[in-house]
Chain A
Amino acid sequence: MIYLDNSATTKPDEQVLNSFQQAASQYFGNPSSIHGLGKDAERLLRKAREQAADILGVNSLEIIFTSGGTEGNNMAIKGIALEHQSRGKHIITSVVEHPSVLEACTALEEIGFRVTYLPVDRDGRVNLTDLKEAISEETILVSIMHVNNEIGTVQPIEEIARILKDYPKAFFHVDHVQGFGKAPLDLSNLGVDLCTISGHKIHGLKGTGLLYARRGVRLFSLSHGGGQENNLRSGTENVPGIVAFVKAMRIMEEARLKKLPHLQQLQNWLIDRLETIDQLVVNTPSETKVPHIVHFSAPGLKPEVVIHALEEFQIYISTKSACSSKSADESAVLAACGKTEEVTKSGLRVSMSYQTTWEEVQYFFEKIKHVITNLSQVMR
């Protein structure tokens, strides 16, 4: 099997599964219980929190464990909006965000917030001038993803943070789900107030993740109850899931330090080769991109057909991102980049991991070339 759909989800690491299994069986106490079993679970949870904070270079009080990217994004956006609406009711985001950001914003529009959706250029990048024009004294939140989940574009987070320094009323949220482990963010210095990370995108388990909320940033809780996670997310903590997630963070960071150039080489090689196939258009930008995503279109071909054809060779890639499906078969991200309809309707995404090998990428290229050549003969 050649799994190249790592931006949809990743295969959990063996060590991560071991940690989950051990934590679930040995530390099953409720961290809030006052007896010894509770104490041990609490301690494990605390260690996990400290390690997550360490990896991100922040304080452990700033970590809120969540169920993943969608929850983190909702918690940040609605949490800021509801808590700080008296300061202003304007939110800025971009048209290429993940649905959990876009839909959260839409929901807020229905209850009286105003949302500006920044456009993007052909590479999927927001324009800083657009941001400067959109921002006002009414703006309480700017939410921009670090890495686009479909084509891999890296947004100018540092520059945006610098612009926002002049608007102390506006909080800055970064959806870092596709970025963690591939494109690091310096949370302690950048001026980012909130940052979402997901566990299952980094070889952790589904249902885990975290939201970084800088100290002093108040959020309206979306889940009231026993007061866990700093009163922001009540509910008994998923200790084994959290432990597995933090383990995955650690393994991911180690892999990044060792293998980032390897991934970069694979990507460069693959993009170069794909560009030699006449029927294909590469959509991943040539600069400021993450090294694990290669997105391209096969104009005139139905992407599902390509996917199924590759499946026969046990190769797994995806069409557009698994979770965005605005219109039936068009990619909203590619449309926002101003691509032609033929391109937006025929997008294919390869997303690699640090485990991806040269052999796999070469085999994939051989097969995609074969598949595309065959299919275009049939279709024409």
Chain B
Amino acid sequence: MQYDHIIIRYGELTLKGKNRKLFTSQLLANVREALDEYKDIRVKKKYDRMYIQLNGENPDPIIERCKKIFGIQNMSLAIRAENDEKDIKKNALELIKNTDSVQTFKVSTKRSNKSFPIPSQEFNHVLGGFLLSHLDDISVDVHQPDLEVMVDIRQDATYITSKKIPGAAGLPVGSSGKSLLLLSGGIDSPVAGYLAMKRGVQLEAIHFHSPPYTSERAKEKVLDLAERLSYYGHKIKVHIVPFTALQQKIHREIPNSYSMTVMRRVMMRISEAVAERENILSLITGESLGQVASQTMESMHAINAVTSYPIIRPLIAMDKEDIIQISENIDMYEISIRPYEDCCTVFVPKSPKTKPRLEKVEQFEKNVDFSEDIMKVLEEIETIQVPQKDKKEDSLESLL
């Protein structure tokens, strides 16, 4: 007897009153999308949980995949039995027999189906006694058992499980609308995107590319990061902005100490325009207070002034070590540390203003008009959806 179901339990979204259906439907859609490649399974939604009917599929990779889906509090492998004492006993016995090194166990019964004749407490004894008499070298330990046999007697059937596997928690991606992530290729911005996704945000991403100052490898790195992010939610559109001409112009026309501030402001203006075009209502950055020159209070004030869109900064109060820790946990770190320059590091002046003044920035910008350049750049944006299945990728995979 093998496990034939996976039970998925919802997280805090059970608390969300009238929105509940919205959240659970979104989660159902996300689970189905994520498990698309498993053709034989069926995913069904019930009021307080979801069932994945395995139909013979190996549950391990499916559980691994589900661990990345936000909105799942925990999961259990389950055996479905008839609401019948004999059938439950038979399956519970198989479950223990197929679990390695069990010396102690306990039975916990939950009986939401009150038409089942034996009350929970009594059934614990009945089943526990049955298991004891059919197994050698095993005893009951109600405090710290090696295995807890959980029997859930419901209307449709009885589900027997043994442990809860923690899920990613959070809210289903898509349930909190869409936002545009400024994705540089460093350690911070992918983590910021991830944390926003965890709160149900669906992402698009924008990246500023300045060939030949930045290489194809830098662009590829960003696409790889976006692809990893997409595993936690949906496909992600990445808008690649050809930034070379604008960057050169800023470098030429703006005094060195302010060029960084102006560059960031131009990026914000372009990002806002892209967001507007895509019906997106907010921007996300990986800024963390005090990390670098552009992330002081004064800098943020000066940069933020160009847009009225909310800028979400999930990392704003986090320490670098903690950010790195998350980056490692979500498998972004190894990509983020690939040593290619992005557009933010290429033109960095020797001593950027750490405390730029807004009036001064505006003064400098008065003499230079960027609007036309921005319009032009918007026309030339290349939009790539990840994960992308291009020919190149396929030929690499066939080699391996």
Contact = CB atoms under 8 A, between A and B. Distances in A.
A59 B217 CA distance: 21
Contact of A247 (B215, B331, B399): B399
A168 interface: no
B216 A39 contact: yes
Contacts of A47: 396-397, 400
B334 A19 contact: no
A19 B217 CA distance: 24
B220 interface: yes
Contacts of B400: 19, 47-48, 51, 243, 246-247, 250
A59 B331 CA distance: 8
21 contacts: A19-B399, A22-B399, A23-B399, A34-B215, A34-B217, A36-B216, A39-B215, A39-B216, A42-B217, A43-B220, A44-B396, A47-B397, A47-B400, A59-B331, A59-B334, A61-B334, A243-B399, A246-B400, A247-B399, A247-B400, A250-B400
A228 interface: no
Nearest to A247: B400
Contacts of B216: 36, 39
A60 interface: yes
B7 to A, nearest CB: 25
Interface of A: 19, 22-23, 34, 36, 39, 42-44, 47-48, 51, 59-61, 243, 246-247, 250
Contacts of A44: 396, 399
B226 to A, nearest CB: 16
Interface string B329-354: 00100100000000000000000000
B389 to A, nearest CB: 14
Interface in B207-261: 215-217, 220
Interface residues of B, number: 10
Contacts of B334: 59-61
A22 B217 CA distance: 23
Nearest to A38: B217
A44 B399 CA distance: 9
A262 to B, nearest CB: 20
Nearest to A59: B334
A331 B215 CA distance: 57
A246 B397 CA distance: 11
Contacts of B397: 47
Given A39-B216, A39-B217, A39-B220, 11 more contacts: A19-B399, A23-B399, A42-B217, A43-B396, A47-B400, A59-B331, A61-B334, A243-B399, A243-B400, A247-B399, A250-B400
A48 B396 CA distance: 9
Contacts of B217: 34, 39, 42
B338 to A, nearest CB: 9
B221 to A, nearest CB: 10
B317 to A, nearest CB: 27
Contacts of B396: 43-44, 47
A23 B220 CA distance: 20
Q: Which 3 A-B pairs have the closest CB atoms?
A: A19-B399, A61-B334, A51-B400
Interface in B295-334: 331, 334
Nearest to A49: B334
Interface string B381-400: 00000000000000011011
Nearest to B337: A61
A332 to B, nearest CB: 36
A36 B392 CA distance: 13
Contacts of A23: 399
Output the residue of B216, B397, B399 with the most chain A CB within 10 A: B399
Nearest to B334: A61
B121 to A, nearest CB: 38
A160 to B, nearest CB: 19
A48 B331 CA distance: 16
A22 B400 CA distance: 11
Contacts of A250: 400
A258 to B, nearest CB: 13
Nearest to A18: B399
A42 B400 CA distance: 14
A75 B365 CA distance: 58
Contacts of A243: 399-400
Contacts of A19: 399-400
Output the residue of B215, B217, B334, B397 with the most chain A CB within 10 A: B334
A246 B216 CA distance: 26
A23 B331 CA distance: 27
Contacts of A59: 331, 334
Contacts of A48: 400
Nearest to A52: B400
Contacts of B215: 34, 39
A47 B220 CA distance: 13
Contacts of B331: 59
Nearest to B393: A47
A47 B215 CA distance: 19
B31 to A, nearest CB: 23
A22 B396 CA distance: 10
A87 B397 CA distance: 44
A227 to B, nearest CB: 11
Contacts of B399: 19, 22-23, 44, 243, 247
A77 to B, nearest CB: 26
A60 B335 CA distance: 10
A23 B395 CA distance: 10
A23 B216 CA distance: 21
A61 B216 CA distance: 22
A44 B397 CA distance: 9
B228 to A, nearest CB: 11
A136 B205 CA distance: 54
Nearest to B333: A61
A207 B220 CA distance: 31
A39 B340 CA distance: 12
A19 B400 CA distance: 7
B400 to A, nearest CB: 5
Nearest to A60: B334
Nearest to B399: A19
